[in-house]
Amino acid sequence: MKSIIVTGCSSGIGAYCAEALKGDGWRVFATVRKREDLAALEARGLEALLMDYTDPGSIEALVATVFERTGGRLDALFNNGAYGQPGAVEDLPTDALRAQFETNLFGWHDLTRRVIPAMRAQGSGRIVQCSSILGIIPYRWRGAYTASKFALEGLSLTLRMELEGSGVQVSLIEPGPIESRFTANALTHIRQAIDLENSVHAQEYRRQLARLDGTGPVNRHKLGPDAVYKVLTHALTARRARPHYLVTKPARQGAFIKRWLPADLFYRLMRSLD
């Protein structure tokens, strides 16, 4: 039975993919940050473990536990746990930007480095990073999240090249809008970190808050997490996994337009989007 670590399994993409992988015959080690989220995963027959990307000790403990249970083997890692810190770049406290990178990049790097030696030793492995279309194209009011995903893209593609010939393959999944608690979590973070009322962008923030709290327009292109699982299975099982997997119509359109439009025209187009 092949084994995989899936992070960020309390809800959304992680929860769905962990359960679907188990149904497809994988041994799934599903991680969450909060102890109270363990029971729901265990009830579904998953091996649930605590891990927080901002806590190196918890990352070390996770890997040690997994290797103890598997005899030192691991077939795949799906880095997925992340959050989005909304807010205009000029309003963004540097500490909030650091926190975004701790969870969305540095913790992923730490966990990934800890499993690569085992994959190299066995001559095979898959590392799949759940990035975002915002790792390819920028979007207003999402500078911190965009920066973390741009960095993840560069780091992961470099790692993919460096692992060539080792039997370990690295892929990036780049979803657009997916049904999850992502926007609800973003609402919490914007209220905690951004001075919404005293910003020059106060009026824009009111519109942003409506989108995040569900009172604004509904994104008709939003898909369920099964759309991510469809490409995840390819990245995990194909003889030659792709470097990029775009998910949702907006993601594919955005990547296509960026490739073919002149840069200035493309960024003017992006500035016009809400």
Among 6, 266, 274, which Cα is nearest to 136's? 266
**Catalytic site residue from 145, 205, 229, 245:** 145
Contacts of 149 (CB under 8 A, 6+ apart): 104, 131, 132, 134, 135
DSSP assignment of the chain equals --EEEE---SSHHHHHHHHHHHHTT-EEEEEESSGGGHHHHHHTT-EEEE--TT-HHHHHHHHHHHHHHHTS---EEEE-------B-GGG--HHHHHHHHIIIIIHHHHHHHHHHHHHHHHT-EEEEEE--GGGTS--TTBHHHHHHHHHHHHHHHHHHHHTTTTTEEEEEEEE-SBSSSHHHHHHHHHHHH--TTTSTTHHHHHHHHHHHHT-S---TT-B-THHHHHHHHHHHHSSS--SEEEESHHHHHHHHHHHHS-HHHHHHHHHT--
145 in catalytic set: yes
By annotation, the residues acting in catalysis are: 145
